[in-house]
């Protein structure tokens, strides 16, 4: 599961797991990796907080999450209250699916800085990962109230509404994300499924929604790609493509005519 997560002072590819919620400056998309192991030497006595944090960043980049946390905690011990380090520890814990610990560190970051939009977004991701979509929406909306031009936040919010099957609100926020970052769904689709989709039917609906969004934004190739995926996944309302206004221009494209004529069969589960 992937999602987008924004992290200040670092540029990574989330969130998303945060998703999760790449795209904006200082953003990263995160991916859950194999079980972590201690592989690095422990923090050296006398190292400065900056050196410890930098080493933690290097280890996190290598997915040595436990070792990265050791260095981040050493940095906090040398310089307590560093909001950035709280968030970085939280991300490592999130990647290891230690959701309770991750939540506590994002909450620490928020207590240290009530206007840190990244911490609110990342806390939303924690709740999203445990399927508490209502709480996730609350924190994503708080992040947006503090930073209203981050595509990843709207993307995350759309995913949470999709999880609650509030599809109109999901589309509204996905549209805003696409407006801010035309490549946001392409990056996430190359890495994995952006939203938590519990059933093949939901997956098919999700891909149909993306096809509509790309058709509306004037990206026919991408729209056709997701439309074909929706057909392969057996989207039951595929005939709506002939009446949904978003596809009005695409319907004139010979490639659309060819795709629909092919009647792409659904792929068995």
Span 2-147 CATH architecture? Alpha Horseshoe (1.25)
Q: Grade residue 39 by pLDDT with cuts at 50, 70 and 90.
A: confident
What does the pLDDT look like over 66-108, one tens digit per residue? 999 999 999 999 999 999 999 999 999 999 999 999 999 999 9
The count of other CB atoms within 10 Å of the CB of residue 198 is: 10
pLDDT of res. 190: 46
How far, in Å, CA of 222 to CA of 206, rounded?
14
Of 28, 25, 63, nearest to 187 by C-alpha is: 28
Write the DSSP string, 63-86: T-HHHHHHHHHHHHHHSTT-HHHH
Give the mean pLDDT of 113-119.
Answer: 96
Write the DSSP string, 132-179: -HHHHHHHHHHHHHH-TT-HHHHHHHHHHHHHTT-HHHHHHHHHHHHH
Q: What is the pTM of this model?
A: 0.78
Segment among 11-25, 43-57, 107-121 with least mean pLDDT: 11-25
- The answer to whether residue 18 scores a pLDDT higher than 50 is no
Segment among 151-160, 244-253, 256-265 with least mean pLDDT: 256-265
Q: Grade residue 236 by pLDDT with cuts at 50, 70 and 90.
A: very high
pLDDT of res. 107: 98
What are the sequence ranges of the domains in the chain?
Answer: 2-147
Token pair, residue 135, equals 């709480």
């Amino acid at each position: 599961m992937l999602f987008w997560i924004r992290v200040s002072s670092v540029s990574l590819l989330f969130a998303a797991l945060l998703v999760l919620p790449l795209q904006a400056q200082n953003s990263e998309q995160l991916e859950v990796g194999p079980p972590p192991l201690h592989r690095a030497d422990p923090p050296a006595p006398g190292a400065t907080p900056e050196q410890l944090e930098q080493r933690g960043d290097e280890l996190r980049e290598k997915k040595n999450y436990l070792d990265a946390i050791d260095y981040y905690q050493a940095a906090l011990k040398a310089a307590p209250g560093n909001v950035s380090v709280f968030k970085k520890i939280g991300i490592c814990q999130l990647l290891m699916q230690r959701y309770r610990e991750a939540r506590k560190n994002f909450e620490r970051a928020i207590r240290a800085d009530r206007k840190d939009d990244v911490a609110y977004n990342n806390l939303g991701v924690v709740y999203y990962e445990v399927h508490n979509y209502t709480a996730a929406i609350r924190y994503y909306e708080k992040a947006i109230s503090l930073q209203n031009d981050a595509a990843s936040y709207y993307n995350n919010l759309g995913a949470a509404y999709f999880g609650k099957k509030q599809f109109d609100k999901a589309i509204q926020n996905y549209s805003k994300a696409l407006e801010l970052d035309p490549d946001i769904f392409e990056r996430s689709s190359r890495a994995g499924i952006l939203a938590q989709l519990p059933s093949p039917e939901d997956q098919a609906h999700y891909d149909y929604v993306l096809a509509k969004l790309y058709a509306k934004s004037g990206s026919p190739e991408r729209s056709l790609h997701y439309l074909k995926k929706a057909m392969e996944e057996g989207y039951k309302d595929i005939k709506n493509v002939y009446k949904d206004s978003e596809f009005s221009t695409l319907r004139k494209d010979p490639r659309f005519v060819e795709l629909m004529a092919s009647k792409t069969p659904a792929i068995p589960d």
